[in-house]
Amino acid sequence: MGKAGKALRQVLETYGISQNQLAIEMKIPPSNVSRWVSEGRDPSGEAIAAIKDALEKMKPEAAEEFVVLYLI
């Protein structure tokens, strides 16, 4: 558990995106993002796609790195 959370945490830190900014872009409660980043809960497959889409709108390079980190 936590591979997506680790990838997400790294991307948010690298690109200076706050958990709150991502939550707003995804239109979800910030607590969801917090649980993913702290590895308390893995995002669903649907949420992975939504994370990638939100990051793509904010910083395309962040979305690309998220996918790479998640898949390796």
Q: How far is CA 57 from CA 42, 45, 60, 67, in A?
A: 22, 19, 6, 14
Both structure tokens of 35: 């649980």
Domains and their CATH numbers in the chain: 3-71 (1.10.260.40)
Q: Of 17, 24, 69, whose CA–CA distance to 50 is shortest?
A: 24
Q: What is the pTM of this model?
A: 0.92
pLDDT for 5-64, tens place per residue? Answer: 999 999 999 999 999 999 999 999 999 999 999 988 889 999 999 999 999 999 999 999
